[in-house]
C-alpha cells in the first residue's frame, strides 16, 4: 500500500456506479446538515482520545509535558465505556484534563476512526487543537492559534509523507479535482468549529457511513482534508514536509519511530511517536537521538518500512537525497523528561490499579459497560 516512491495505493476497488452512489449519498447528507449551534461551544482547548492502557499512558505523558511547558489550555479526554477507570480519570484530572465518556452522549457505538471527528464535534470548545495521545508539543501550543493561516481560514492541517495517486476513486467520489499535494497527517489538527462546522460534520459522516472510505483513504486522517476540499472550505496547509526522528542501531542503520511536524515558521512543533508508543518503551530506551530529512523537494526521495528483529517494532527510513543529523536539544530534552515521567508513572501505586483494570477489561469483561469492580 505504501510504496517506496511515496505514493499510497489502495487495493479497494470501487465501481463507477458505486462511486456515483457514494457521491450522491454524501451530498444528500450535506443538504440536511444543521447550522452551527452558537450557544453550545466556547473558548479554546485541546482534545484527545485516550481509552485503554496504551493511550492512557501516552496521554498522561503528553499532558504532563504540556503543563511543564506552561500550557494552560484546558484538555478534554474522550473515551468509551470502561476504557478508563475511576483511578485513571482522577489522575488525568490533576492536570486540568476533563474525561468525557461517549456513552454519556448517546454514542456508545462509536469506535475506530469515527472517534476523532466526533470528539472534536462534541467537545465543549469552539476552537480545538486535536492531538493524538502519542503526540508531544515542543512548545506551548496556545501560540498556534495565532498562525495567520488559521486566522484567515479557521483550520490548519499538517502533511503526511504520502501522495494519493490520481486513479484513487476518492477524487471522483468527493468531486474534487486531482492535485498532487501530500496526504494529511491527522496527529494534530487546529479547527475553529464555527467556521468549519459543515466540513467537520461531513468528515464525521465519512468516518461513520461505512468502511469504504477508511479503506480508500487509509483511516481517518485524509477524511478531514477531503471533507474540507469537497465543500470548498478553506484551510491552511503547513508547507514543510515532516521529518523523521529515530535512532541508529549498532550497525549504523537509521530507524525512524516518530514524525516531526513543523509550524508555519519551519520550527519543530510536534513529535508524533506513532511507531513506538510509550506503553511498550523500555526503561531508559532512547529513540529520539537522530533526525532525518530530505535536502530538497525536487530531489530523489524514497520511503522504506521495516520490522527489524533487533528493534521488535515497525520503523520507517528515508532514502535518496536526505541527511541525518543529531537531534537538537529541544528534542533530546523532551525525551529525557518523558523517560523520567514514564518511570514515575510505572513506579506509582495508581498505575498498578489502572493496569489491573485494563487486564480485567481485556480478559473478563468484554463489553463497554462499566465493570462491577471498582479500580
- Give the model confidence (pLDDT) of 276-307 as tens digits: 999 999 999 999 999 999 987 767 899 999 99
Cell matching residue 338 = 518523558
Give the model's pLDDT for residue 97. 98
Q: Quick one: 221 and 288 in the same domain? A: no
Percent of the chain with pLDDT over 90: 82
The CATH number of the domain where 148 resides is what?
Answer: 3.90.550.10
List the beta strands (DSSP E) in 315-372: 315-320, 322-326
Structure confidence by residue, pLDDT tens digits, 16-33: 999 999 999 999 999 999
**Domain limit, last residue, from 180, 213, 237:** 237
Q: What is the mean pLDDT of residues 357-369?
A: 75
pLDDT, residue 370, reads 62
Q: Which of 222, 237, 252 is the C-terminal boundary of a domain? A: 237
Average pLDDT estimate for 199-228 = 90
pLDDT tens, residue by residue, 79-128: 999 999 999 999 999 999 999 999 999 998 888 889 999 999 999 999 99
Number of domains observed in the structure of the chain? 2
Determine, yes or no, domain membership for 72. yes
Question: Per the domain annotation, does 67 fall within a domain?
Answer: yes
Share of the chain above pLDDT 70, in %: 96
- Number of C-alpha atoms within 13 angstroms, CB side, residue 47? 28
- Confidence (pTM): 0.95
Average pLDDT, whole number, for the chain?
94
The answer as to whether 16 is a domain residue is no
Q: Is the pLDDT of residue 209 over 80?
A: no
Q: Is residue 5 part of a domain?
A: no
Tell whether 372 is covered by a domain: no
Q: Which residue has the cell 476513486?
A: 169
**Same domain, residue pair 220 and 337:** no
Other beta carbons less than 10 A from residue 318's beta carbon: 20
Question: 228 burial class (0-12, 13-18, 19+ CB within 10 angstroms)?
Answer: buried
Does 212 share its domain with 274? Answer: no
Question: Does residue 171 share a domain with residue 131?
Answer: yes
Assess if residue 258 is contained within a domain.
Answer: yes
Predicted local confidence at residue 180, as pLDDT = 87
Interatomic CA distance for residues 51 and 13, integer angstroms: 33
- Does residue 218 sit in the same domain as residue 118? yes
DSSP code for 8: B
Mean pLDDT of 47-66: 97
> Does residue 230 sit within a domain?
yes
Q: Is the pLDDT of residue 349 over 60?
A: yes
Co-location of 324 and 217 in the same domain:
no
Q: What is the pLDDT of residue 373?
A: 62
Owner of C-alpha cell 530507524? 255
Residue 363 lies in a domain: no
**Co-location of 174 and 273 in the same domain:** no
Q: Which domain holds residue 267?
A: 243-349
Query: Could you tell me if 279 and 210 lie in one domain?
Result: no
Specify the range with the lowest mean pLDDT, choosing from 37-41, 152-156, 185-189. 37-41
Last residue of a domain, one of 237, 263, 284: 237
Residues 273 and 305 in one domain: yes
Q: What is the per-residue pLDDT across 128-150, written as a single tens digit (0 to 9) for each?
A: 999 999 999 999 999 999 999 99
Q: How confident is the model at residue 7 (pLDDT cuts 50, 70, 90)?
A: confident
- Predicted local confidence at residue 334, as pLDDT: 98
Residues 167 and 95 in one domain: yes
Q: Are residues 117 and 220 in the same domain?
A: yes
* Residue 371 pLDDT level (bands cut at 50, 70, 90): low
Q: Are residues 189 and 81 in the same domain?
A: yes
Alpha-carbon distance 244 to 285, whole Å? 18
Q: Can you give the pLDDT at residue 319? A: 95
For residue 365, name the pLDDT band (cuts at 50, 70, 90).
Answer: low
Query: For residue 34, what is the DSSP state?
Result: P
Confidence of residue 65 (pLDDT cuts 50, 70, 90): very high
Amino acid at each position: 500500500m505504501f510504496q517506496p516512491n511515496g505514493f499510497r495505493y489502495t487495493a479497494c476497488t470501487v465501481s463507477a456506479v458505486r462511486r456515483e452512489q457514494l457521491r450522491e449519498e454524501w451530498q444528500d447528507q450535506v443538504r440536511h446538515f444543521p447550522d452551527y449551534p452558537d450557544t453550545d461551544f466556547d473558548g479554546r482547548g485541546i482534545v484527545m482520545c485516550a481509552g485503554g492502557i496504551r493511550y492512557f499512558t501516552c496521554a498522561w505523558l503528553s499532558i504532563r509535558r504540556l503543563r511543564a511547558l506552561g500550557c494552560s489550555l484546558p484538555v478534554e479526554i474522550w473515551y468509551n465505556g470502561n476504557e478508563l477507570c475511576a483511578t485513571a480519570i482522577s489522575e488525568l484530572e490533576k492536570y486540568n484534563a476533563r474525561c468525557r465518556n461517549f456513552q454519556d452522549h448517546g454514542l456508545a457505538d462509536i469506535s475506530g476512526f469515527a472517534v476523532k471527528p466526533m470528539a472534536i464535534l462534541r467537545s465543549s470548545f469552539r476552537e480545538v487543537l486535536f492531538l493524538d495521545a502519542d503526540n508531544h508539543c515542543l512548545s506551548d501550543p496556545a501560540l498556534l492559534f495565532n498562525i495567520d493561516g488559521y486566522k484567515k481560514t479557521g483550520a490548519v492541517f499538517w502533511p503526511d509523507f504520502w501522495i494519493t495517486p490520481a486513479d484513487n476513486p476518492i477524487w471522483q467520489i468527493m468531486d474534487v479535482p486531482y492535485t498532487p499535494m501530500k496526504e494529511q497527517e491527522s496527529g494534530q489538527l487546529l479547527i475553529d468549529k464555527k467556521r468549519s462546522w459543515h466540513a467537520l460534520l461531513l468528515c464525521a459522516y465519512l468516518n461513520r457511513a461505512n468502511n469504504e472510505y477508511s479503506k480508500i483513504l487509509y483511516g481517518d486522517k485524509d477524511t478531514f482534508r477531503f471533507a474540507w476540499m469537497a465543500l470548498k472550505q478553506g484551510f491552511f496547509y503547513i508547507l514543510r514536509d515532516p521529518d523523521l526522528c529515530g535512532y541508529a542501531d549498532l550497525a549504523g542503520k537509521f530507524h525512524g519511530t516518530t514524525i516531526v511536524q513543523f509550524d508555519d515558521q519551519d520550527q519543530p512543533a510536534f513529535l508524533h511517536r506513532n511507531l513506538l508508543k510509550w506503553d511498550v518503551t523500555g526503561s531508559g530506551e532512547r529513540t529520539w537521538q537522530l533526525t532525518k530529512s530530505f535536502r530538497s523537494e525536487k530531489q530523489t526521495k524514497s520511503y522504506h518500512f521495516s520490522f527489524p528483529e533487533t528493534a521488535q517494532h515497525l520503523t520507517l527510513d528515508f532514502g535518496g537525497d536526505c541527511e541525518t543529523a543529531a537531534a537538537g536539544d529541544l528534542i533530546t530534552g523532551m525525551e529525557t523528561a518523558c523517560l523520567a515521567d514514564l518511570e514515575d508513572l510505572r513506579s506509582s501505586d495508581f498505575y498498578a490499579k489502572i493496569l489491573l483494570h485494563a487486564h480485567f477489561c481485556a480478559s473478563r469483561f468484554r463489553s463497554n459497560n462499566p465493570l462491577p469492580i471498582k479500580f
